[in-house]
């Protein structure tokens, strides 16, 4: 083939390639449109799904953010605006969300009506959180009206507002000052005469006035401690003439000195995070406490970073109410606090009191109460505090001393009574006796009826209800309060009856009742009434003396037992000596104690202990089949049945308990998966499972992961899984759940016992994304009617609480509250009393029939007596016993046929075990106890 033919072929191939590329390029737009349509349809489906979820759970912050981000990518302005409005309805918006919203609206602004809407948005934006950037964006947006009538004055007024709001911000406030001066400088240039022309008198005057305005701005800015003050000072030097500079520098040196004092605080604010940062803000505020304006700006800066810290909001509110006492500042501040932290009852109490202080309309106060009751407060005390604050407001609202307003008094008193009754019913319905354990609302109501309303019959009726509670009926202080009211407002007949009831009912301090009764009779009574009173008091004191003597006797008895146990623990506890490693000696040389005297009779072979034959047994074998022998037990085999745990494997071994006796090793292996290397269930001498054991895994990480299986149902029982720690002295009780308030977790009580975890997941899943649902069960797997529902975020939990609290499920009304377990406290009566007569883990086993079982009534009433430091000698006069070995006791069993049984019942409550030891010492035949 010639060169020309080759060139032609290459040219044809090249052209063919170009043709294919062009064809592809012609097809690309259609393919691109098709893929774009598919992507758009996919995004629209995602938006629809997100909005559906938001309609079910409007308090999910993340869902709102996701739909806003998606609509921004799609460029759907109308839908985006609606999504932002919806989020703003439920949450305060951050600086970033507001700036994005405002800039989008400014971009598509087409008329003066649109400008007014954007201005309204700016007004809303600056109310959520302190933001220098939003204020700067606003004043720059407002410069657009400079050419309109009155535009310059409007811009100046807005600049003044921005300086009031953020001008004291040490780190960022200077940018607003600089923008204000730049605006005024632009105006100054418009007053300059044309080149070559002579300025008129009017122009000169306008220039002078404008320069004074700018000079005053310099003066104001340089009197405020701000970062980069030196740069502003240099700018003043370049701008002003000598006289103007001297005037503007008034206050500069003092502000510069102040800046040096607070500069370390500003540096620390940049370095620290979390609780350290909050602590630094508090120190900064404490330093600035003499300047309310600076304290206010610091609180605003702190709130921006710790918006969910209710303690910080409370501190801010208390400071403003105590120092400024300005309605226009206090009420909006409290409204912002409730918008951020609606679940804290203290903020609602502050809102009610502030509303009363500043004369808020009664209808708004009622609305405030209703909002508080559905806000998802965290505890009974929060609800009770809100009710008490509102009832105090209602009482103070009644014009008691103005007799010309009798109808008003009557109407408001009835409202107060209805509200008091509703408060008691609400607390009792939600929390039972824990709603108001001290009857504070009822007692306040009774006092008001007697002292203010003059309705003694109503007051006595309320007090009768109060005294139906055992705790109130046995309290001398509560009786004395009732007596004080009766003495002040009642009559002698009722008062003396009340003294008698109180004297016989009070348990904690009846002497106080007696003293009050005697005092009253000395002042108001006659001789007969005084003697009657003295007689009743003497009778009560005699009964009290006998009762206390019995209690003291019980205390002494218990103290003796406690001392005996203490001495035994001290005697049995080995002396602490420095560990010394010695070469082990042969086992045969170990037992060095006095050899017991021989016992007459045939001795069995060592290592074997024959069980006593049944009655009627004949040794010659005439009545038994030939070749059959009495069954024997190998004691060594029985004693070695326990499992030895290799301590080197503890870090990858977990302890499982509360298992059904039917669960096998294969069941456990299947549950824990392929990471299991060995399963060791503890068994009794007959080979039956004891319901606990050890699971050895391949690695430390596998062991940690397996702890998540704690309380997994196995054979209809919750299986307990914990770290392996064979040492009882170092073993600690583990609790896998938080004991403080968790605002994203709900506590549900009053559930039907038939309700399952799946039913709860379905019910609460409608209100947000669930992390976990835990149904509380007994050890046998049966439901307690309690559950914990853990949401991904706090807003979902708050919404679910509002929607589900008080629901009726299968004729049972459930109660839902924020999870806040009460602190675990031991009462003084039970602090040191072992349950069921058990002993501490580190205490030695008691010998003999120690009588460790204690009646329940005794455990509930006997407080712990202090242990005596004295250690008297043993009462039986016996000499200290020598240490015995297993061989010695085995020999005694074989020689004397004396049996000593020890039964240990291990009961596991949340991985804490105690032993109930029952001993029958030296029992022969069928003689028991």
Q: List C-alpha distances in Å: 661 to 657, 712, 915.
A: 10, 16, 19
* DSSP per-residue string spanning 120-152: HHHHHHHHHS--HHHHHHHHHHHGGGTTSTTHH
Res. 58 pLDDT band, cuts 50 70 90: confident
Mark whether 51 and 158 lie in a shared domain: yes
pTM of the complete model: 0.60
- The first and second tokens of residue 291, run together, are 């300047």
Q: Is residue 615 part of a domain?
A: no
Mark whether 765 and 710 lie in a shared domain: no
**Does the pLDDT of residue 60 top 50, yes or no?**
yes
Q: List C-alpha distances in Å: 674 to 40, 670, 682, 696, 718.
A: 45, 8, 22, 11, 22
> When comparing pLDDT for 479 and 244, which is higher?
479
> When comparing pLDDT for 809 and 19, which is higher?
809
Mark whether 216 and 94 lie in a shared domain: yes
Tell the residue number behind the tokens 């509380």, with chain if given. Answer: 776
Quote the CA–CA distance of 458 and 436 in Å, as a whole number. Answer: 20
Partners of 816 in beta bridges: 748
Partners of 819 in beta bridges: 742
- Among 766, 768, 823, which Cα is nearest to 790's? 768
Q: What pLDDT is stored for residue 192 in this prediction?
A: 82
Mark whether 73 and 221 lie in a shared domain: yes
Mark whether 808 and 908 lie in a shared domain: no
Domain boundary among 679, 695, 723: 723
Q: Is residue 195 part of a domain?
A: yes
Quote the CA–CA distance of 929 and 926 in Å, as a whole number. Answer: 10
| pLDDT per residue as tens digits for the range 509-532 | 999 999 999 999 999 999 999 999
Domain boundary among 675, 692, 723: 723
Cα angle value 833/836/841 (rounded, 5°): 70
Mark whether 813 and 845 lie in a shared domain: no
Res. 148 pLDDT band, cuts 50 70 90: confident
Q: Please, are residues 695 and 679 in contact by the beta-carbon 8 Å criterion? A: yes
Q: List C-alpha distances in Å: 894 to 139, 602, 607, 618, 731.
A: 103, 9, 9, 20, 38
Mark whether 97 and 150 lie in a shared domain: yes
- The first and second tokens of residue 801, run together, are 């609480």
| pLDDT per residue as tens digits for the range 851-903 | 444 444 434 433 443 443 334 444 444 444 455 555 555 555 444 433 333 33
- The first and second tokens of residue 610, run together, are 């024959």
Q: Is residue 421 part of a domain?
A: no
Q: Please, are residues 712 and 774 in contact by the beta-carbon 8 Å criterion? A: no
> When comparing pLDDT for 669 and 18, which is higher?
669
Quote the CA–CA distance of 44 and 909 in Å, as a whole number. Answer: 54
What's the mean pLDDT when you consider all of the chain? 79
Q: Please, are residues 216 and 196 in contact by the beta-carbon 8 Å criterion? A: no
Helix/strand/coil for 730: coil
Residue 779: give its domain's CATH number.
Answer: 3.30.70.330
Mark whether 113 and 249 lie in a shared domain: yes
Under 8 Å CB-to-CB from 454, ≥6 apart: which residues? 489
**Does the pLDDT of residue 553 top 50, yes or no?**
yes
> When comparing pLDDT for 726 and 747, which is higher?
747
**Does the pLDDT of residue 17 top 60, yes or no?**
no
Q: Please, are residues 693 and 682 in contact by the beta-carbon 8 Å criterion? A: yes
Q: What mean pLDDT do residues 55-78 have?
A: 90
Q: For residue 179, give the DSSP letter.
A: H
Q: List C-alpha distances in Å: 786 to 378, 508, 760.
A: 17, 35, 11
CA 689 to centroid of chain Cα atoms: 40
* DSSP per-residue string spanning 29-75: HHHHHHHHHHHHHHHHHHHHHHHHHHHH-TT-HHHHHHHHHHHHHHT
**Does the pLDDT of residue 75 top 60, yes or no?**
yes
Q: What pLDDT is stored for residue 739 in this prediction?
A: 63
Domain span holding position 801: 742-819
Cα angle value 203/208/209 (rounded, 5°): 100
Residue 253: give its domain's CATH number.
Answer: 1.25.40.10
Domain boundary among 262, 282, 301: 262
**Does the pLDDT of residue 175 top 90, yes or no?**
yes
Q: Is residue 565 part of a domain?
A: no
- Among 345, 341, 297, which Cα is nearest to 319's? 297
Mark whether 750 and 717 lie in a shared domain: no
> When comparing pLDDT for 418 and 619, which is higher?
418
Mark whether 663 and 795 lie in a shared domain: no
Q: Is residue 439 part of a domain?
A: no
Q: What pLDDT is stored for residue 736 in this prediction?
A: 55
Q: Is residue 858 part of a domain?
A: yes
| pLDDT per residue as tens digits for the range 195-210 | 777 788 888 899 999 9
**Does the pLDDT of residue 11 top 50, yes or no?**
no
Quote the CA–CA distance of 316 and 297 in Å, as a whole number. Answer: 11
Q: Is residue 445 part of a domain?
A: no
CA 487 to centroid of chain Cα atoms: 45
Res. 278 pLDDT band, cuts 50 70 90: very high
> When comparing pLDDT for 790 and 608, which is higher?
790
- The first and second tokens of residue 589, run together, are 């040389």
Please provide the distance, in angstroms rounded to a whole number, between the alpha carbons at the two ends of the chain. Answer: 123
**Does the pLDDT of residue 289 top 50, yes or no?**
yes
| H-helix or E-strand spanning residue 776 | strand 770-777
Quote the CA–CA distance of 705 and 77 in Å, as a whole number. Answer: 47
Q: What mean pLDDT do residues 469-494 have?
A: 94
Q: What mean pLDDT do residues 347-374 have?
A: 96
Mark whether 794 and 653 lie in a shared domain: no
Res. 780 pLDDT band, cuts 50 70 90: confident
Number of domains in the chain: 4
Under 8 Å CB-to-CB from 765, ≥6 apart: which residues? none
Res. 266 pLDDT band, cuts 50 70 90: very high
Q: Is residue 431 part of a domain?
A: no
Under 8 Å CB-to-CB from 201, ≥6 apart: which residues? none
Query: In 10 A of CB 619, how many CB atoms?
Result: 8
Q: What pLDDT is stored for residue 399 in this prediction?
A: 94
Mark whether 183 and 69 lie in a shared domain: yes
Phi, psi of 687 (to 5 degrees): 85, 10
Q: What percentage of the chain has pLDDT greater than the value 90?
A: 47
- The first and second tokens of residue 448, run together, are 């008001």
């Amino acid at each position: 083939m010639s060169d020309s033919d080759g060139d032609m072929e290459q040219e044809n191939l090249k052209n063919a390639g170009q043709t294919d590329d062009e064809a592809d390029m012609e097809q690309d737009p259609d393919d691109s449109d098709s893929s774009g349509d598919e992507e758009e349809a996919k995004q629209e489906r995602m938006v629809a799904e997100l909005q559906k979820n938001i309609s079910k759970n409007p308090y999910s912050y993340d869902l709102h953010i996701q739909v806003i981000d998606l609509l921004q990518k799609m460029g759907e302005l109308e839908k985006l605006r609606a999504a932002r409005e919806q989020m703003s309805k439920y949450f305060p918006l951050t600086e970033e969300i507001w700036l994005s919203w405002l800039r989008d609206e400014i971009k598509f602004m087409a008329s003066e009506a649109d400008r007014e809407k954007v201005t309204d948005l700016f007004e809303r934006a600056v109310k959520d959180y302190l933001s220098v950037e939003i204020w700067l964006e606003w004043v720059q947006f407002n410069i657009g009206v400079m050419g309109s009538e009155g535009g310059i004055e409007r811009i100046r007024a807005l600049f003044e507002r921005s300086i009031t709001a953020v001008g004291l911000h040490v780190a960022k406030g200077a940018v607003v000052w600089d923008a204000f001066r730049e605006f005024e400088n632009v105006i100054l240039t418009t007053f300059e005469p044309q080149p070559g022309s002579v300025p008129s008198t009017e122009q000169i005057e306008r220039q002078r006035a404008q320069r004074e305005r700018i000079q005053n701005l310099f003066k104001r800015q340089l009197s405020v401690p701000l970062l980069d003050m030196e740069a502003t000072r240099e700018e003043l030097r370049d701008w002003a003439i000598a006289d103007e500079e001297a005037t503007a520098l008034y206050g500069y040196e003092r502000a510069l000195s102040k800046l040096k004092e607070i500069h370390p605080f500003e540096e620390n604010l940049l370095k620290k995070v979390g609780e350290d940062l909050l602590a630094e803000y508090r120190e900064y505020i404490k330093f600035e406490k003499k300047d309310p304006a600076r304290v206010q700006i610091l609180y605003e800066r702190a709130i921006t970073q710790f918006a969910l810290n209710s303690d910080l909001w409370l501190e801010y509110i208390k400071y403003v109410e105590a120092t400024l006492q300005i309605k226009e500042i206090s009420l909006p501040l409290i409204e912002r606090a409730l918008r951020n932290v609606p679940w804290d009852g203290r903020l609602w109490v502050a809102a009610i009191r502030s509303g009363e202080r500043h004369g808020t309309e009664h209808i708004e106060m009622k609305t405030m109460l209703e909002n508080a009751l559905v806000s998802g407060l965290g505890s009974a005390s929060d609800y009770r505090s809100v009710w008490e604050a509102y009832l105090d407001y209602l009482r103070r609202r009644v014009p008691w001393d103005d007799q010309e307003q009798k109808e008003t008094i009557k109407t408001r008193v009835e409202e107060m009574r209805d509200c008091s009754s509703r408060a008691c019913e609400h607390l009792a319905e939600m929390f039972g006796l824990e709603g108001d354990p001290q009857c504070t609302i009822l007692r306040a109501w009774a006092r008001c009826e007697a002292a203010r309303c003059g309705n003694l019959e109503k007051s006595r009726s309320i007090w009768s209800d109060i005294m139906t509670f055992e705790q109130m009926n046995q309290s001398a202080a509560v009786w004395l309060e009732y007596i004080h009211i009766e003495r002040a407002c009642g009559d002698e007949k009722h008062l003396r009856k009340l003294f008698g009831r109180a004297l016989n009912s009070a348990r904690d301090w009846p002497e106080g009742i007696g003293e009050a009764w005697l005092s009253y009779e000395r002042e108001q009574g006659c001789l007969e009434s005084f003697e009657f009173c003295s007689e009743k008091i003497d009778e009560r004191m005699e009964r009290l003396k006998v009762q206390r003597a019995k209690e003291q006797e019980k205390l002494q008895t218990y103290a003796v037992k406690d001392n005996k146990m203490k001495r035994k623990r001290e005697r049995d506890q080995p002396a602490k000596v420095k560990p010394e490693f010695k070469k082990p000696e042969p086992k045969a040389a170990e037992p060095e104690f006095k050899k017991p005297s021989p016992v007459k009779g045939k001795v069995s072979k060592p290592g074997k202990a024959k069980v006593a034959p049944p009655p009627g047994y004949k040794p010659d074998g005439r009545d038994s089949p030939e070749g059959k022998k009495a069954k024997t037990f190998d004691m060594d085999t029985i004693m070695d049945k326990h499992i030895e745990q290799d301590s080197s494997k503890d870090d990858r071994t977990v302890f499982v308990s509360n298992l059904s006796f039917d669960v096998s090793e294969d069941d456990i292996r299947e549950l824990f998966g392929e990471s299991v290397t060995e399963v060791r269930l503890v068994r009794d001498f007959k080979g039956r499972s004891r319901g606990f054991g050890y699971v050895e895994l391949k690695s430390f990480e596998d062991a940690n992961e397996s702890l998540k299986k704690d309380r997994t149902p196995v054979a209809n029982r919750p299986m307990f899984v914990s770290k392996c720690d064979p040492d009882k002295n170092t073993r600690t009780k583990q609790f896998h759940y938080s004991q403080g308030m968790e605002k994203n977790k709900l506590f549900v009580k009053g559930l039907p016992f038939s309700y399952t975890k799946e039913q709860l997941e379905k019910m609460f899943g409608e209100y947000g994304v669930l992390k976990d649902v835990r149904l509380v069960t007994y050890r046998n797997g049966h439901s307690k009617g309690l559950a914990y529902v853990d949401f991904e975020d706090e807003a979902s939990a708050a919404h679910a609480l509002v929607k589900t609290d008080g629901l009726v499920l299968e004729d049972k009304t459930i109660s839902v509250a924020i999870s806040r377990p009460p602190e675990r406290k031991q009462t003084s009566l039970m602090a040191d009393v072992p349950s069921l007569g058990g002993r501490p883990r580190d205490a030695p086993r008691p010998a003999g029939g120690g009588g460790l079982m204690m009646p329940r009534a005794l455990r509930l009433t006997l407080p712990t007596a202090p242990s005596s430091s004295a250690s008297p000698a043993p009462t039986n006069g016996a000499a200290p016993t020598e240490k015995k070995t297993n061989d010695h006791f085995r020999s005694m069993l074989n020689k004397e046929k004396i049996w000593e049984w020890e039964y240990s019942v291990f009961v596991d409550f949340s991985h804490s075990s105690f032993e109930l030891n029952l001993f029958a010492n030296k029992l022969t035949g069928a003689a028991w106890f």
